[in-house]
Amino acid sequence: MNPKTPELLGRVLRLAEQVLDRPSGDPRRQDMVEKLFEEVHEATSWGTDEKAGRLINQWTVLLVQMMRKIETLGPLGNADELVRAATIGAVLLGFVQRDSLMALEIAARGPRPDRAAGVRR
């Protein structure tokens, strides 16, 4: 796992909670979501040696895409689209939270002894 994974997932979750709670339509928040999307998209290509697989994955990307849609629509946007994006985002939030928890647990354990010595099985 890339050591940046827990921090990036934490930022995704913090911003997702704000966006899902109340879309602002604020250009600054839209910019934050856009930058986060770029980081998450790039992170999907980070290598991993964890059995759990990638912890920043397509579900994370989809959550950030829903955040983009919500912030682009803003609080006065199409109500049906806002409800759809917020519903999908709320469902995805739980999965990304689980991945974040797993990343924190892996980081807390530290490097695996067989990986620290550069030995690969």
Backbone angles phi, psi at 74, to 5 degrees: 70, 175
The mean pLDDT value for 101-110 works out to 91
pLDDT band at 47 (very low <50, low <70, confident <90, very high): confident
- pLDDT of 115 above 60: no
Residue ranges per structural domain of the chain = 5-111
Judge contact between 9 and 57, C-beta under 8 A: no
What separation in angstroms does the CA of 100 have from each of 8, 46, 70? 9, 15, 22
Q: What angle do CA 92, 29, 15 make, to 5 degrees?
A: 35
pLDDT band at 52 (very low <50, low <70, confident <90, very high): low
